[in-house]
Structure 1
Amino acid sequence: MSSERLQRNQLVIDEFRSAGGVVGGDFAGVPLLLLTTTGARSGEPRVMPVTYLEDDGRLVVFAANGGRPNRPGWYHNLLADPAARVEVGTESFPVTASVVEGAEHDRLWALQLVRTPYFADFQERAGRRVPVVVLTREVAPH
């Protein structure tokens, strides 16, 4: 990732955390979460702002990478280690990621396109099927 994109992401992360999960600019009104993964090569924590869809209590993210031909780093990190952490609003909690396929992929992708039609452009520009990832909240043992 370019240093310019890293700086832009850090500004979004800082704004998200200082404003209780609310971000303006390009992300105003867009459901946004912070996803912390473990770097597949580095083993270091990596935080990325990611748009999401809520579906029956689950958080769903899309590895569209803004229409770039390669999948985003967070996706590769989750394939290597599906344990992650999510920040939504002022809440932070552990999740486990799973890539969905088939009818479930298609259903969630269609929901995302209704809510965010420009995602169709991302898939077309990327020339690849956009992976759909469900983030399931880990429940603490009682």
Structure 2
Amino acid sequence: MANPVLRALRRIAAPVSRTRWFRRVGPRALPVAERLLRRATGGRLVVSGILVPSLVLQTTGARSGQPRSSELMYTPDGRGGAIVAGTSFARAAHPAWTANLAAHPDAEVVVRGRRFRVHAELVRDAEREATWARIERQWPGYRQYERDSGRTVRLFRLTTGAVPSPFDGRLWGRLRG
């Protein structure tokens, strides 16, 4: 059962995150705010981490081969891994990090200030409905981004050999619904 305060905050924030205003402002404002807070706290806190489990995904550019970083919400998959969704604020194009993971599935994440190696796998069609259901238990209405984007959002499962898994930490283990 999710923390009641967190559940109430999500009920307020989730509809706001689907507004046209948020979709215009969010892609510009959130990455800047995330980077500032991440630098100020050594990566232990991120803005989105107030409401949902969050990570910094560090990939290799699909075309450039250069390191790239993206702040993302994740959903624990219940098996020690994490699910990340390439919603990109319902934009028509896939976010670059999804092409990076498809080209270079071995990446790194920073979770609560700690760095871990991960391997990414595209979620298969047969698993998409169950995966979206899990994501929407955490963030109601999140799949609306897929519907509004007019594309099939790429869903990735991230796995790590780390024990204990950074994705099923005590904090989010208590708070997630």
Return the offset for 1:16.
2.6
C-alpha distance in structure 1 between counterparts of 2:141 and 2:160, whole Å: 28
| Correspondence for 2:58 | 36
- How far is the alpha carbon of 1:74 from its aligned partner? 0.3
Q: Which residues of structure 2 form unaligned runs of 5+?
A: 1-25, 163-177
Summarize the alignment of residues 57-76 of structure 1 with structure 2, pairs less than 5 Å apart. 57-76=80-99
Cα 1:13/1:138, change in 2 over 3 Å: farther
Counterpart CA distance in 2 for 1:7 and 1:126 is 20
> 1:113 is paired with a residue of what secondary structure?
helix
Residue 120 of structure 1 is matched in structure 2 by 143
Measure how far apart 1:11 and its partner are. Answer: 3.5
Structure 1 distance, partners of 2:33, 2:102, is 26
Q: What RMSD, in angstroms, separates the aligned Cα atoms of the two structures?
A: 2.3
- Give 2:102's aligned amino acid: L
1:118 offset after TM fit, Å? 3.2
CA contact (8 A) 1:13 1:34 kept: no
Distance in 2, matches of 1:33 and 1:66, equals 17
Gap change, CA 1:38 and 1:6, over 3 Å in 2: farther
Q: Is the 8 A contact 1:13 1:48 kept in 2?
A: no
Which residue identity lines up with residue 118 of structure 1 in the other structure?
A: G
Kindly provide the amino acid, as one letter, of the partner of residue 68 in structure 1.
R
**Where does 1:8-27 land on structure 2 (aligned, <5 Å)?**
8-19=30-41, 20-24=43-47
Secondary structure, counterpart of 1:77 in structure 2: helix
Conserved? CA contact 1:86–1:92, under 8 Å? yes
TM-score normalized by the length of structure 2: 0.68
2:112 to 60, 81, 89: 89
CA distance in 2 between partners of 1:10 and 1:40 (Å): 23
> With structure 1 as the length reference, what TM-score do the two structures score?
0.83
**As a proportion of its length, which structure holds more helix?**
2
Larger Rg: 2
Separation in 2, partners of 1:87, 1:38: 15
Report the structure, 1 or 2, having the larger strand content: 1
- Which runs of no fewer than 5 residues in structure 1 stay unpaired? none
Structure 1 residue identity aligned to 2:91: R
Q: Percent identity over the alignment?
A: 33
